[in-house]
Amino acid sequence: MTADLHYPPVVIEDLPALAELRVAAMRPSLEALGRFDPERARRRLVDGFVAAHARHIAAGAERIGFYLLQPEADALHLKHLYLWPRHSGHGHGSRVIAHLQAQAAARGLPLRLNALRGSRANDFYRACGFVAEREDALDIHYVWHAP
């Protein structure tokens, strides 16, 4: 049986480990697109990181990922969601998204995020009910509204 997920707070001292997790999680998608640069992948997390908006994703005592949910005036914006690769494909991501959708619905706000063009994450987010709002050179921007 899968351990229940819980979401302990992140502290700024966690940032180096979270940056390494981001690199590990993004590597397959970025390599497939010929864009893998570990330093750039780290910087995209570090630039603008706010620990108060981040939570670890834990299964039992093990930290299996993290997310960063930034509140905005008219939405909640999921800036980052990463699981260690060995924990992908076990339903954890869907459970995290359901948790975040419940937060957005409770506040009466949409949930927004973006995903790298060509990433498998796009299929995942669409399956979770997100709809593409717009696209740019690198990303597809999605929104979810509570039913």
Q: What is the β-pairing status of strands 54-59 and 62-71?
A: antiparallel
Segment 35-62 mean pLDDT? 90
Q: What is the pLDDT of residues 87-121, one digit of tens each?
A: 999 999 999 999 999 999 999 999 999 998 888 89
Decide if pLDDT at 31 tops 90.
Answer: no
Question: DSSP per residue over 12-72, as a string?
Answer: GGGHHHHHHHHHHHHHHHHHHTT---HHHHHHHHHTT--GGGEEEEEETTEEEEEEEEEE-
pLDDT band per the 50, 70, 90 thresholds, residue 3: low
**What pLDDT shows up at residue 65?**
98
Instruction: Indicate if the pLDDT at residue 34 is higher than 90.
Output: no
pLDDT given at position 1: 38
* Residue-range domains of the chain with CATH: 5-113 (3.40.630.30)
Q: Which tokens hold the place of 78?
A: 């999921």
For 61-77, what is the mean pLDDT? Answer: 97
Highest mean pLDDT, choosing among 2-11, 41-50, 127-136: 127-136
Tell me the two tokens of residue 52: 């108060």
Q: What is the mean pLDDT of residues 15-29?
A: 91
pLDDT at residue 10 in the model: 98
Q: What is the pTM of this model?
A: 0.91
Residue 135: enclosing H or E segment and its boundaries? strand 131-135
